[in-house]
A and B are shown apart, each in its own frame.
Chain A
């Protein structure tokens, strides 16, 4: 390696691949031109064509922007199911249960530390005038982490609920020994 640092994410990717990479990791709706610039692609038409193809395949949504021009937005439904699929295909049910228990343990520690029963209760304490500004900031930080944990716990629970059904549809993963319920039909 002649340069220091790390290789750029654009290394070895074609223009279209770069557009796809940006489009599939959008965090809000964006114009063709924004995607084109972030993908470091000079041709507006190339960016537009690739985005239209992703819309056609349901990977992103095309919506009307405030200025009347089309914007491209993440397909959150797809993202949710992609996350579930990854959890189901790459982890055992025991792993998922263990992770839920571990998240729950973290949450219970916060409950004990702050004397609250829920994330909402902790949020309600932020208006407490006896707290110093540093305490408020600390609680806000914990609150954000708590919300993240709740989101991930919900996702893990959904993955467990769908686990057997989803696994039975995954090629090579549906041997009876891998499934906690016998295959029928």
Chain B
């Protein structure tokens, strides 16, 4: 048997499992906005973690739709000196997706960028702070930023926009 364990896949699976289990323990708690947690695409073929969120509880605001999801994925490419991740907030009702991408795309914006997609189209993309910390801390910090960003969204002719100074 040829045994070729890909370390970055093991890093990813290990981390997704931890994150999934941590969020899962909060699902039944009355004081968190997490409604449900699952693996994308499945527990066997795990490439990301997704969580259904009560947006009103998450943001303490009634300005959002009734349903939202978090999409979280990590990657640890051996040919890059830092960890990749995508942490995104998705609202199906408004066809809105926003979040941070630390990946190989849009390197002109630096190691990390913030992006808003609306109705299948990218409507804003800007450089964001590079967080060179452990993925669990990246997740925590981005979720903190997310609260402020969602509160800062303005709609101009039905297009969402966040002021640049609100993007960390």
- Taking a contact as CB atoms under 8 Å apart, the answer to whether A27 and B42 are in contact is no
Contact B133 A38 (CB under 8 A): yes
Chain B residues within an 8 Å CB radius of A79: 10-11, 13-14
Whether the Cβ atoms of A99 and B45 lie closer than 8 Å is yes
Contacts of B144 in A (CB 8 A): 5
Minimum Cβ distance to chain A for residue B78 (Å): 10
A76 at the interface (CB under 8 A from B): yes
Please list the residues of chain A having a beta carbon within 8 angstroms of any beta carbon in chain B: 1, 4-10, 21-22, 24-28, 38, 74, 76-77, 79-80, 82-83, 86-87, 90-91, 95-96, 99, 102-103, 137, 140, 144-145, 147-149, 151-156, 158, 161
Also in contact, A87 and B140, with CB within 8 A (given A27-B76, A137-B105)? no
A10–B22 CA distance with the chains assembled, in angstroms:
10
Contact of B76 with A149 in the complex, beta carbons under 8 Å: no
Known: A1-B32, A79-B14, A137-B105. A27 touches B44 (CB 8 A): no
Give the docked Cα–Cα distance between A27 and B6 (Å): 12
Type the 1/0 row for B21-50, where 1 means its CB is closer than 8 Å to any CB of A. Answer: 011001000011110000000111111000
Quick one: closest A residue to B12, CB to CB?
A148
Please name all residues of chain A whose beta carbon is closer than 8 Å to the beta carbon of B162 when the two chains form the complex: none
